[in-house]
Amino acid sequence: MTDNKEVMNIKDQKEIKKRDDVIGWDDLFMGIAFMAGTRSKDPCTQVGACIVDQHKRIVSVGYNGMPEGCHDDKFPWGKDPNDPLKNKHTFVCHAELNAILNRHGADIRGSTIFVSLFPCNQCAKLIIQSGLKEIVYYCDKHAEKPSTIASKMMLDAASIKYRVYVPEKKVILVDLAKKFVSLMTTSAEIEP
Ligand SMILES: [Zn+2]
């Protein structure tokens, strides 16, 4: 025999539906690439990369920065065209390089790399030699530069696909303070 309260609970449960407005895969992985980029000390360009395997598992992330042991305060962040030793490009590791090296021995052949800026020619070589099969990029602002043209020549020859990221959601907001409050509230509601 069921009382009215129990009937109401069953009715309520039937009306609970799954969320349909979840974040899409591309939004998630590009969002993580951007999050990684926020770690960069580069005052001009912060680039992030996220490598995802064929099962949509995140294998690695990286961002542009000085090599390990090369102190951020001792190496140059400027772009002196006359002195390579005062030019960051001589020293900085790009996000793609760091993401590839950060994979902890995981097999990344056949994986996709999400990156906020189209890979340069040096990174294209790494991507090809690492067996990555696809690049999803956010911005191609250096498309006219020889380094990007060379990059695409190599990627095309190696049959690496590349496509521009098309956001499903316009904004991904992670308010860490509010998320904590939200999680605590939700947990309190579902605990028996
Ligand atoms: Zn690069």
Instruction: Summarize pLDDT for 102-137 with one digit per residue, the tens.
Output: 999 999 999 999 999 999 999 999 999 999 999 999
Residues annotated within a binding site? 94, 120, 123
pLDDT value of residue 10: 61
CA of 179 to the centre of ligand 1 (A): 34
Contacts of 121 (CB under 8 A, 6+ apart): 146, 147, 148, 150, 151, 154
Q: How confident is the model at residue 185 (pLDDT cuts 50, 70, 90)?
A: low
pTM of the model: 0.85
Q: Which has more confidence, 21 or 162?
A: 162
Closest CA to 163 of 136, 183, 128: 136
Count of C-beta atoms within a 10 Å radius of residue 115: 30
CA of 45 to the centre of ligand 1 (A): 12
pLDDT value of residue 177: 79
Q: Which has more confidence, 30 or 186?
A: 30
Residues annotated within a binding site for Zn(2+)? 94, 120, 123
CA of 93 to the centre of ligand 1 (A): 8
Mean pLDDT, residues 165-173: 87
| 3-state DSSP assignment of residue 126 | helix
Instruction: Say whether 6 is catalytic.
Output: no
Q: How confident is the model at residue 4 (pLDDT cuts 50, 70, 90)?
A: low
CA of 96 to the centre of ligand 1 (A): 6
User: Which residue among 68, 96, 189, 191 is the active-site one?
Assistant: 96
Mean pLDDT, residues 58-80: 97
Closest CA to 49 of 132, 138, 116: 116
CA distance 38 to 103: 19
